[in-house]
């Protein structure tokens, strides 16, 4: 009952005219950004972040959430219609969505994608409502050592997402933590790594890091293919975008089965929409009676990843909002935005600013409806964005990025940093060094160091403080397991292969 009361209060906040307007605008902007290859949700939110500076905190967060799920939704539009995923999470939608469009079923594919997305989002938001308060209340027991260990876990899980890039992932996160140490140390007043620059005393703003590493570097990567990167002709006239009863019956099972999986993957730090969508696709293929139809326009192959993808995007907001620790690049950007707005995400957000916390949760229900409503009837209009030639688009993205960055500190020092970070991000992508750990580390770095030093103060300098509570031990163990897991699973699969070979064949 308590939760329902808070939720009702949240709906009152979310349904104010200004919040509704930003929800609609955010969903539409997000859909458009998500459709454009190379500009995923993280880049999209980062680029649009300055627009939210003048807003009230709840309005800013509602707008960003709308951009987030709008972008997740938009990514699949270009997957279905062009076979060009807007971002990694939309890759699986192309497997069967594009063949459906090729067979003249674009309308059904767009409708299934929207319905799966809507149901996945709705169910996972209900799960969010049930989970948020208990998690936030549990997190009130966290002191500085527990928070430090939690951040270690979140960073380790993100860095360890692939075995091949594990070491490079950890290097990336250490580099991000290094960036977070630039500027005045607020506990002692000592300037660190500022090289006498007044502008650097305030540190390197993580928004600059995010826009540089995601936005500018993505433009640089895309400039490599600009000559052969011509906008494909796109279908923009559609019949009735809806599905038949038979298609509905085929879709509902995969949607209901894969939503919880997507949600759980979203809650885990490091894993993201791409993993959720691909796992959902593979799960459905494995249990299907007709796996041979997958990849040739199977409805289940489109419904499952769409539902999982959106459930994942809702799940990813749980650690960010209840614990104050982002689990992905996109939620790191959103966490950064909350900090800029003067709010500290975490358990106290629910205690001290219930209107903001529950307003955002309520907006997820409404946002899913808004997104579906925008995307089904306006599909034809929105996909016209895909006709914009990249040669015109990327210069605009660069200028928008610079303009956005300037509005944070009103300092041209950020222009130099943005250019350098763009080049760093470009080289990291070329050398296959993951960038998400760097982003996460640059956002949580300052509070991580603060928790570390507060813990040491509590223990008179003894590192044993990190091993005294069971919460710390569990979190450190989870961090160790997440780093070791790729190796363990690799060893197990090798052993299984060995056993399979050893089996004598009669």
Partner 1 sequence: MRPNLLVGVVSVLIGATYTAQAFMLPKAMVGNPWAPLYFPIGLGLLMIALGTLLIVLEVRKAVKGVDDYKRPKFTASSIKLIAGTSAACVTYALIFEDLGFIPSSLLFLGSLLSMINGLKAWKINGVITLGFTFGAWFTFVKIFQINLP
Q: Which of 88, 191, 253, 295 binds partner 1 (CB under 8 A)?
A: 191
Bridge partner list, 184: 191
Q: Nearest approach, Cβ of 224 to partner 1 (angstroms)? A: 4
For residue 111, how many C-alpha atoms fall within 13 Å in the half-sphere facing its CB?
Answer: 17
Q: How far is CA 345 from the centre of its chain?
A: 16
Q: Nearest approach, Cβ of 431 to partner 1 (angstroms)? A: 5
- Residues of 395-433 as b/e, b for ≥16 C-beta within 10 angstroms? eebbeebbebbeebeebeebeebbeebbebbbebbeeeb
Q: Which of 335, 332, 296, 256 is nearest to 42 (CA)?
A: 332
Q: Nearest approach, Cβ of 63 to partner 1 (angstroms)? A: 13
Q: How far is CA 289 from the centre of its chain?
A: 33
Q: Which of 7, 126, 135, 223 binds partner 1 (CB under 8 A)?
A: 223
Residue 470 interacts with partner 1 (CB under 8 A): yes or no: no
Q: Which of residues 340-399 bind partner 1 (CB under 8 A)?
A: 389, 391-392, 394-396, 398-399
Q: Nearest approach, Cβ of 65 to partner 1 (angstroms)? A: 20
Q: Which two tokens stand for residue 84?
A: 């060009």
Q: Which two tokens stand for residue 437?
A: 């750990």
Residue 9 or 419 having the CB closest to partner 1: 419
Residue 458 interacts with partner 1 (CB under 8 A): yes or no: no
Q: Which of 94, 444, 67, 17 is nearest to 298 (CA)?
A: 94
Residue 220 interacts with partner 1 (CB under 8 A): yes or no: yes
What distance in Å separates the CA atoms of residue 360 and residue 259, rounded to the nearest whole number?
A: 21
What distance in Å separates the CA atoms of residue 468 and residue 479, rounded to the nearest whole number?
A: 16
- DSSP conformation class of 200: G
Residue 239 or 461 having the CB closest to partner 1: 461
Q: Which of 9, 16, 83, 181 binds partner 1 (CB under 8 A)?
A: 181
For 357, residues 6+ apart whose C-beta sits below 8 A from its C-beta are 10, 132, 321, 349, 350
**H-run or E-run covering 127:** helix 106-139
Residue 38 or 347 having the CB closest to partner 1: 38
What distance in Å separates the CA atoms of residue 69 and residue 315, rounded to the nearest whole number?
A: 12
Q: Nearest approach, Cβ of 439 to partner 1 (angstroms)? A: 17
Interface mask toward partner 1 for 243-282; x: CB under 8 A: ----------------------------------------
Interface mask toward partner 1 for 56-95; x: CB under 8 A: ----------------------------------------
Stretch that binds partner 1, among 123-131, 178-186, 198-206, 306-314 (CB under 8 A): 178-186
Residue 149 or 316 having the CB closest to partner 1: 149
Residue 187 interacts with partner 1 (CB under 8 A): yes or no: yes
Q: Which of 168, 250, 296, 468 binds partner 1 (CB under 8 A)?
A: 168
Residue 464 interacts with partner 1 (CB under 8 A): yes or no: no
Residues 374, 77 contacting (CB under 8 angstroms): no
Residue 214 or 365 having the CB closest to partner 1: 214
Residue 188 or 286 having the CB closest to partner 1: 188
Q: Nearest approach, Cβ of 487 to partner 1 (angstroms)? A: 13
For residue 445, how many C-alpha atoms fall within 13 Å in the half-sphere facing its CB?
Answer: 25
Q: Which of residues 401-440 bind partner 1 (CB under 8 A)?
A: 402-403, 406-407, 410, 412, 415-416, 418-419, 422-423, 426, 430-433
Q: Nearest approach, Cβ of 415 to partner 1 (angstroms)? A: 4
Specify the pairing of strand 191-192 against strand 183-184: antiparallel
Please list the alpha-helical segments (H only) found in 354-468: 354-375, 379-382, 390-409, 413-430, 436-458
Phi-psi region of 240 (alpha: psi -120 to 50; beta: other; left: phi over 0): beta
Q: Which of 14, 39, 51, 81 binds partner 1 (CB under 8 A)?
A: 51
* Three-state SS annotation for 286-297: HHCCCHHHCCCC
Residue 217 or 309 having the CB closest to partner 1: 217
Residue 178 interacts with partner 1 (CB under 8 A): yes or no: yes
Q: Which of 5, 12, 18, 53 binds partner 1 (CB under 8 A)?
A: 53
Q: Nearest approach, Cβ of 306 to partner 1 (angstroms)? A: 32
Residues 488, 166 contacting (CB under 8 angstroms): no
Q: Nearest approach, Cβ of 112 to partner 1 (angstroms)? A: 36
Q: Nearest approach, Cβ of 395 to partner 1 (angstroms)? A: 4
DSSP assignments along 286-341, one per residue = HH-S-GGGTTTT-HHHHHHHHHHHHHHHHHTHHIIIIIS--SSHHHHHHHHHHHHT
What distance in Å separates the CA atoms of residue 31 and residue 86, rounded to the nearest whole number?
A: 10
Query: What is the size of the binding site for partner 1 (CB under 8 A)?
Result: 59
Residues in touch with partner 1 (CB under 8 A): 50-51, 53-54, 167-168, 170-171, 174-175, 177-178, 181, 185, 187-193, 216, 219-220, 223-224, 226-227, 389, 391-392, 394-396, 398-400, 402-403, 406-407, 410, 412, 415-416, 418-419, 422-423, 426, 430-433, 449, 452-453, 456, 461
């Amino acid at each position: 009952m308590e939760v329902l009361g808070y939720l009702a209060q949240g709906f009152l906040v979310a349904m104010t005219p200004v919040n509704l307007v930003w929800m609609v605008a955010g969903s539409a902007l997000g859909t458009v950004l998500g459709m454009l290859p190379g500009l995923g949700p993280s880049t999209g939110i980062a680029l649009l972040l300055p627009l939210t500076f003048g807003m009230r905190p709840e309005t800013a967060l509602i707008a960003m959430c709308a951009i987030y799920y709008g972008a997740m939704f938009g990514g699949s539009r270009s997957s279905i219609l062009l076979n060009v995923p807007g971002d990694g999470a939309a890759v699986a939608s192309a497997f069967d969505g594009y063949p459906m469009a090729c067979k003249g079923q674009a309308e059904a594919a767009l409708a299934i994608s929207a319905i799966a997305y809507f149901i996945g989002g709705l169910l996972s938001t209900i799960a969010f409502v049930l989970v948020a308060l208990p998690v936030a209340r549990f997190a009130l027991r966290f002191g500085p050592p527990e928070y430090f260990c939690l951040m270690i876990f979140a960073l380790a899980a993100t860095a360890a997402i692939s075995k091949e890039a594990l070491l490079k992932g950890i290097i990336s996160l250490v580099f991000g933590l290094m960036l977070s140490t630039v500027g005045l140390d607020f506990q002692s007043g000592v300037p660190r790594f500022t090289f006498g620059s007044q502008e650097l005393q305030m540190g390197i703003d993580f928004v600059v890091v995010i826009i540089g590493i995601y936005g500018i570097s993505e433009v640089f990567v895309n400039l490599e293919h600009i000559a052969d990167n011509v906008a494909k002709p796109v279908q923009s006239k559609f019949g009735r975008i809806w599905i038949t009863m038979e298609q509905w019956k085929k879709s509902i099972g995969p949607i209901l089965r894969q939503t919880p999986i997507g949600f759980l993957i979203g809650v885990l730090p490091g894993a993201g929409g791409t993993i959720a969508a691909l796992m959902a696709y593979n799960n459905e293929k494995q249990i299907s009676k007709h796996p041979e139809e997958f990849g040739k326009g199977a409805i289940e192959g489109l419904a499952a990843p769409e539902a999982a993808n959106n459930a994942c995007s809702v799940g990813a907001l749980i650690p960010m909002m209840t614990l104050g620790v982002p689990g992905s690049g996109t939620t790191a950007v959103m966490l950064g935005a909350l900090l800029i707005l003067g709010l500290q995400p975490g358990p106290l957000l629910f205690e001290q600013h219930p209107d903001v916390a529950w307003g955002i949760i309520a907006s997820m229900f409404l946002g899913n409806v808004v997104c579906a409503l925008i995307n089904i009837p306006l599909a034809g209009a929105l996909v016209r964005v895909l006709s914009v030639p990249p040669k015109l688009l990327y210069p605009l993205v660069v200028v928008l990025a610079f303009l956005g960055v300037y509005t944070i500190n009103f300092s041209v020092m950020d222009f130099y940093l943005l250019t350098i970070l763009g080049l760093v991000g470009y080289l990291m992508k070329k050398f296959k060094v993951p960038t998400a750990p760097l982003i996460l580390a640059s956002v949580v770095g300052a509070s991580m160091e603060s928790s570390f030093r507060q813990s040491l103060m509590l223990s008179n300098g003894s590192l044993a403080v990190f091993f005294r509570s069971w919460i710390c031990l569990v979190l450190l163990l989870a961090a160790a397991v997440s780093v070791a897991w790729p190796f363990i699973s690799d060893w197990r699969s090798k052993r299984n292969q060995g056993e399979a070979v050893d089996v004598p064949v009669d």
